[in-house]
Structure 1
Amino acid sequence: MEDVVTQVGAFGPLIASAIKALIVLVVGWIVAGALSGIVRRRINATPHIDPTLGNFVASLVKWVLLAIVFVAVLGIFGIEATSVVAILGAASLAIGLALQGTLSDLASGVMLVVFRPYKLGQYVDIGGTAGTVKDLNLFTTELVTPDNVQIIVPNGQAWGSVITNFSAHDTRRVDLVFGIDYGDSADDAMKIILDVAKADDRILGDPEPWVRVTNLGDSSVDLTARLWCQAADYWDAKFDLTKAIKEAFDAKGISIPYPHSVEIHKEG
C-alpha cells in the first residue's frame, strides 16, 4: 500500500504541471484570439488602411502570441526556451524540409499583402478557382463562391497562379451578343440596342456604347454590343439589358431565329 502511495506521489508534480500547462494553453489561446480580434477591428476602423492588411496583421499577432504560449508551456515542464531554440537549430534542416510548404505559404502571404493583387471583398479567379475574397491570413486565402461555398486556397498556390481580378477597376465592359434573322434589318436592330442601352442610367456615355455586326452565322446575323458600367452594376445591367433588348426586338418585329437548315432539292 505504501508503494502505491509513493508511486502516486511521484506523479503528483507531473500532474500538477500538466494541469498548469493546460490552463496556460487554454488562457493563452483565448487571449491570442481576443487580441487578434482587437487588432483587426482597430485597423479596419481606420479609413486609410486596407482591411486586407488588418486581417493579415491580426493573423500574425495571433500566431506570435501562440508561439509565446507554446514556449511558456514547455517552460512549465522544465524545458527552457534556449533548449528549444537549440533543438530547433539542430533539426532546422529536417523541419525546413517538413514545413517547406507551410513556409512557402507564409512567404507568399507576405508577398500578397505587399503587392495586393486582390483585396477583401473583390471577386477574383485564382488559377481557375473563382470567388469573393473573404479573408487573407498568414497561410491561406479564403474565397466564397456566389452560391456561398467556402474555398480555402493556400497562399503559395495563390501567389504562383494566374490571378484574374474582376473588381480591380471601377468600371467593366458588358458584352452582349444577339442573333437576328437574315430577313431583318441589321441597322434597325442596332438602333434598338443603342436606344435601350442609352435609356439605362447604369450604362456610361464614356466610353460610348458600341454595336456592330460581328458574325454571319448559319442561321442568324450576330450583333455584338459593348457597353460600359460601374463594376458593381455589371451583373444586374447584363441581365436587365438582355431581357429589355429581347422585349424591344419583339415589339419592333425583330426576330431571333432558331437554328435551322434549308433543304434544296435539285431536279435531275
Structure 2
Amino acid sequence: MVEKRGPGAVGAVAILVIAVIVANGVARSLRRFGRKAHRRAGADDTLFAFAASLFKYLIFAVAIVFALTQLGFPTASLAALLGAAGLAIGLALQDTLKAVAAGIMLAIFRPFRIGDYVSAAGLDGEVIDITPFLTQVKQIDNKIVSITNDKVWAEPLINHTRQTRRRLDLYFDISYDDNMDLALGLVRDVANAHPRVLAKDETWVGVHSLASSSVQLRLRAYVATPEFVDVRAGITKGVKEAFDANGVTIPFPHQVNVPYKGKADATETGPLVQTAKPPEDD
C-alpha cells in the first residue's frame, strides 16, 4: 500500500507546498503592484487587493484537485465528488457564499477604496483591506474590525472621504437674554477667520431652533476632508472664547434640590392642637 501510494502522496504534498508558495507570491505581487500604481498614477488599489485574495483561493482549489488526482482518484469520480461536496458545502455555508457574492459586487462597483473612512454595518473606520469574504477597517482608537461583506453590502454605507471637501455642521446654544445678532456675527467671524475654512462666501450661520432653555445657532462651513476633525475642534474653541469675551452666555442645566419633609420632620415643628367646639344648646 505504501509502495503503491507513496509516490502519489509525495507528489500531492509537493503540489500543495508549491501551490502555497505560488499563491502567496502572486497575492503579494498583486498587492505590491496595486500600491505602486496607486502612488504613481492614482489607480484604485482596492481592486488589486481583492483580486490578490481571489487568485490565492483559486490556486488553492486547483492545487487540491491536482493533489487528489495524484493520490489515485479518477477524474470523473473526482468531478462527481466535488460536485456533491460543493452542493453540500453551499447549503451549509450559505452565509459565507453570500459574503463572497457581496465581495464581488463591492469589487465591481467600488463604493469605497482602501484608505477611505467609512461607516458600514454600524461601525466607523478606515478601510485597510478587502477580501472575497471580509472587509477590514481600522477604527479611530486603532482597533481592527473585520466585517463580512454581506453585511457591508446589505446596509447603507457612508463614505466620509470620497469627496475632497466636507461640510462642517456645528451647533451652539445661547441664552434667551443674549443678543442673537451679536452671537451670529461672532460665530461667522470665528469661522471665516480660520485659515483652513474653504469658500468663505459659502459659510452660513443662522438660528436653528428655539429650545426649551436656549436659542440654538447653527454653523455650516466647508473644509478639506482630511482636516475636518482639526477644524471642528479649532472653531469650537474659538467660538467659546469669543462668547466669553463678549458676554454671550452658554446655558447649562441647573439642578435645584428641595428637601423632602416627612412625618418626622413635620412633628418637630410642634404638635397640631385641635380645640373641640362646645356643643350647642338645644
Q: TM-score range by the shorter chain?
A: 0.7 to 0.9
Name 2:96's counterpart in structure 1: 102
The C-alpha deviation readout for 1:229-257, integer Å capped at 9, x for no partner, is: 11111111111110111112112222212
Which deviates more from structure 2 when the two are superposed, residues 195-204 or residues 72-81?
72-81
Name 1:163's counterpart in structure 2: 157
Compute the TM-score of the two structures, normalised by the length of structure 1. Answer: 0.85
CA distance in 1, matches of 2:16, 2:127: 31
The C-alpha deviation readout for 1:85-109, integer Å capped at 9, x for no partner, is: 2212344432331232222222211
Amino acid at match of 2:15: V
Please, which of 179, 185, 188 is the counterpart of residue 182 of structure 2? 188
CA distance in 2, matches of 1:84, 1:99: 21
Indicate conservation of the 8 Å contact 1:219/1:260, yes or no.
no
Number of aligned residue pairs: give it: 253
The C-alpha deviation readout for 1:17-76, integer Å capped at 9, x for no partner, is: 545534432332122111111012123322253111110111111111111221232123
CA distance in 2, matches of 1:155, 1:27: 30
Identify if the C-alpha distance between structure 1 residues 82 and 36 changes in structure 2 by more than 3 Å, giving closer, same or farther: farther
1:21 is aligned to 2:12: yes
RMSD over aligned CA atoms reads 2.2
Compute the TM-score of the two structures, normalised by the length of structure 2. Answer: 0.81
Asked which structure has the greater CA Rg, the reply is 2
Please, which of 238, 244, 252 is the counterpart of residue 258 of structure 1? 252
Name 2:261's counterpart in structure 1: none
Indicate conservation of the 8 Å contact 2:200/2:221, yes or no.
no
Indicate conservation of the 8 Å contact 2:198/2:222, yes or no.
yes
1:133 is aligned to 2:127: yes
1:74 is aligned to 2:63: no
Query: Gaps spanning 5+ residues in structure 1: where?
Result: 1-9, 263-268
Amino acid at match of 1:146: I
Amino acid at match of 1:251: A
Query: Gaps spanning 5+ residues in structure 2: where?
Result: 257-282
SS of 2:67 mapped into structure 1? helix
Amino acid at match of 2:70: I
CA distance in 1, matches of 2:211, 2:93: 56
Name 2:36's counterpart in structure 1: 45
1:174 is aligned to 2:165: no
Identify if the C-alpha distance between structure 1 residues 70 and 213 changes in structure 2 by more than 3 Å, giving closer, same or farther: same
CA distance in 2, matches of 1:261, 1:216: 21
Percent identity, aligned pairs only, is 39
Please, which of 226, 232, 235 is the counterpart of residue 232 of structure 1? 226
